[in-house]
Each structure stands twice: as C-alpha cells, then as structure tokens.
Amino acid sequence: PLAKLGRWTHSSRWLTVFNLTCVAGLCSVSALMLWDMREDATQRTEITSRSLLQVLERDIARNIELYDLSLQAVVDGMKRPDVARAAPELRHMILFDRSATGLGFGFIMVLNATGDVVLNSQSVAPRVLNRADGEYFQYFAAHNDDGLHISPPAISRLTGKWVVMMSRRLSNPDGSFAGVVAGAIHLDYFRGLFAAAGVARIGTVTLYGPGGSILMREPFDQQLLGESVANQPSYQRILTRQKGSFVGPAMVGEGERRFVFTHVGDQPLQLSTAIPPADIYADWWQKALALGGTVLALCGATIGLTWLFRCELDRRRAAEVATIALNVELELLATTDGLTGLSNRRSFDEVLAREWSRAVRTSQPLSLILLDADSFKGFNDRYGHQRGDEALKLIARAIEPVIGRSGDTGYRVGGEEFAVILPDTDKEGARIVASRIQQAVPGWKLPHASSNHAVLTVSCGLAQIPEAVAMEPAGLFRAADAALYEAKRSGRNCVRVSGSVSPDLRLVIG
C-alpha cells in the first residue's frame, strides 16, 4: 500500500507539474495572441489609412497635372506672334480653351512684367488689377525658374474664396522676365474630394501645402486654412521620407497621434492621417479583457481536454483549412467575372436578394446603380472586340475606387452592363457615387467615334428603396433599369434617378 501510495503521490505531483505547465503555456499563448491582435489593429488602421491616402494622392496629382497642362498651353500661346495679333475674342478662346477641364480649377490670369493683369480666363476684357505683391509674382521676378510653382493658400481678390495658386514664368526671347501665368484651385475642391473619398472614417486627414500650410483638413475647420505647421516636429518627420508612418505629437491639438503620410507626386504637397492611439485600440481593450478573463477562468478545465484532443483537432483543422481553401477558390471562380475582375451576375443576384431582405427588415435604405457603356455596339464594330474588352476593363477600373466601404460591391451583370450595390446608402449618397463613375469614364479619354461625345462614356440609372416601388429584388432592378433607359433617352453620359419625376412612389411590402 505504501508503495502504491508513493506511486500515486508521485503521479499526482507530475500531474500537478504538468497542469501548471499547461496553465503557464496557455497564459503565454493568450498573451501572445493579445499582442498579435493589438498589432493587427495597428496594421488594419495603417492599411486603411494608406489606401485612402493613395486614392486622394492619385486624384490630386492627376488634377494638378491637368491644371499644369492648361498653364503650359497659355505659356506656349503667349510665345506665338499670331496669337498676340489675333482679335481679343479669338485670343481668349485660343489661350483658355482648356482652363475649365480640371475639376475645381477657378481661373487663369496672365500678368505682365509689372504685375498688371492683362488677360483673364473669366472675361475677354479683364478688370484693372495689379498682383505685383503676389507671392508667385515675386517668386518668378526673383528666380529664373521655368517649372511649376505652387503658392501657399490665400483668399482670392477675384472670387473672395480660399484658393491655392499654381503659376509658371513668362520669358522674353532673351530670357528676361516677361510676366507670370497663374491659375487658381479652389480649396473647396479638396474638401469635396475628401468627402467623396469618405475620409470621415479615418480620424483626421490633412493636406499640407508649401511651407507646411494647411490646405484642407477633415474634420473641417475654416480657421485652420492657411495655418502653418512647418515648425511642428511631426511635420518635420513627414518631410524626411516620401511615405511612411510613425507615432508623434499632434500638430493641431494635444496628445500623441499615429501618423500615416505620403507626398503628392513631386509637388510640395503632403497628405497625412492622424489617429489617437486610444481610438485605434478601443476595440482591442474590450477583446483583451474578455479573452483574458475567459482564459483565466477556464484554463484549469481545458488542460486535460487540450492534451487529449490535440492531435485529433490538429488533423481536423488541417483538413478544414484545405477544404476552406479549395471552397474559397471554387467560390471565387464561380462568382467572379474573368474579364474585369468584378463579381459576376450570379453573385449580383445573391447579394441583391440578401441586401434587399436586410433593407426591408431593418428599414434601412438600399441603393442600386446600373450603368451601361454608351453606343457600345458601334464601339465594337469600329474598333474590334479586343478594344471592346479593354473598354470594359476601363469601366471596371472606374467603379473600383468609388466603392470604398466594405459593404459596397461592383458587378458586371452582362455584356457592357455593370451594377453597383450600395447598402445603407441614401439617394444622394448613391447619386454621388454614380456621378463619380460617370465622370471618371470619359476622363480616360478613350476615343469613341460612334458616340456623340467622341470618347467612351457610360449612362447610369439609380434606384433606391424605400423611394422606388420594390416588392422584390427584381422590382428594384427594374426601377434602376428604367432609370438607365431614361439616361440613354436623355442623351447618354448622364445619371438618372428612378422616381425623380414621380415623387410619390414608395416602398410596398407584401
């Protein structure tokens, strides 16, 4: 009996040691998981911020390039004697025919060597105005620089609005200073761009101009426009690299922020997001407390089961991972359009039915956009199906940037027809998305000789419950299709909303 008792005691001791080791290991694994979850929260925030900045940087850089082309056209035109001898109306048309092509571009004016405004894109006969005191005029008067110059923001004397001036130097044949061509970008353009990109989801988003001046900031505060943060340590760190992230003191306000930043091309402009660490880790703290408490309470009871079922669970887990990976691959092939990379009609029908049911159940809005390439048969007949496929890919690329929310989805539903499903989005929000797509496609300037617009365009039809009569998902589709037909009938390259003519249409549930 003593021997048996000794063996039992010895076994109990080892079992106790084993249990304590398992508890310690489980606690260590839990701590590591919590740390990984914390790092994941940081990484998700950085990925979201970087994606947003990439969209904003691309749009701003592209539009600045368009603005600069307009300035260069005026500079080149001023060098031609035949333009100088042309009648005022003709000269105005020649020099400023591209001045309105850029979104948010205000005006272009030409200053002579003394700073007098001699030409203005807003009128053939410009009003008497001298801008010799302007920063851009003084810069080119002192520098023999043929490049593009961007000035800090200021209130325009012509429009009374906040603008940032872009300018280029005019030179005489001998290279001496002959004046300046200057164009204004309204700061409201950047505000609209921020709103369209949904920056309100990402803490504080700021666009910095020359000398660290604030061009735009969301949340918007007009009193901060033009304020310089050049001496702030965090801004100095932004200037050291093209892009990156770091934790540093807030530039406006108090406390620390996690900054993600990038520069806008080779221009003296920077974009950054700034999020307080408390906002990043708020959800993580709740999960950490819940998970930590659960692990501590159940670790003793799970030690034995963890060991007994470990091999079986590992085997099943490996089988499940392989099965899930195969199912994901098959599902992707079954629900993705091979040409454009968007989801296909099958996926569209499933998601529309699901979102329609949820919208009816929760009384939340649901918007559907149908868009169709204009005169696409003529495009294929003239340029061939290979170019037609390229045109469809271009339309898909125009859809992808504007559906940034996790629930927004784009589809190719057949031929040259596409669709966008926007859950929890009202009519005005959906109209903004549709307009951005409709305006983005002709922005690629793909030639389309069979179209009245000379370039590839799309028409968009929009329907939204509860505004449209929709007793079933197909009813919402028919309403959007009718709006698309109305857009086609109205001349194409436009957006039409179902029910805009008959405002008394409402959701019918039956």
Q: Which residues are catalytic?
A: 416
Residue 506 has φ and ψ, to the nearest 5°, of -140, 170
Say how far apart CA 385 and CA 195 lie, in whole Å: 37
- Secondary structure of residue 170 in the 3-state scheme: strand
Give whole-number Cα distances, 328 to 47, 94, 321, 322, 344, in Å: 23, 57, 10, 10, 16
Count of alpha carbons within 13 Å of 191, Cβ hemisphere only?
11
Say how far apart CA 459 and CA 494 lie, in whole Å: 5
Distance of CA 269 to the CA centre of its chain: 17
Say how far apart CA 496 and CA 481 lie, in whole Å: 10
- CB under 8 Å to 81, separation ≥6 — which residues? none
Helix (H), strand (E) at residue 381: helix 376-383
User: Hey, how many other C-beta atoms are within 10 angstroms of the C-beta on 284?
Assistant: 16
> Kindly report the CA angle at 41 between 36 and 47, in degrees rounded to 5?
120
CB 95 within 8 A of CB 83: yes
Strand partners, 206: 217, 272
Say how far apart CA 179 and CA 296 lie, in whole Å: 76
Say how far apart CA 218 and CA 195 lie, in whole Å: 9
- Is the peptide bond between 219 and the residue preceding it cis, with omega within 30 degrees of 0? yes
The dihedral over CA atoms of 253, 217, 184, 145, expressed in degrees to the nearest 10, equals 60
473-489 and 345-362 helices, crossing angle to 10°: 110
Say how far apart CA 464 and CA 422 lie, in whole Å: 9
Say how far apart CA 344 and CA 418 lie, in whole Å: 9
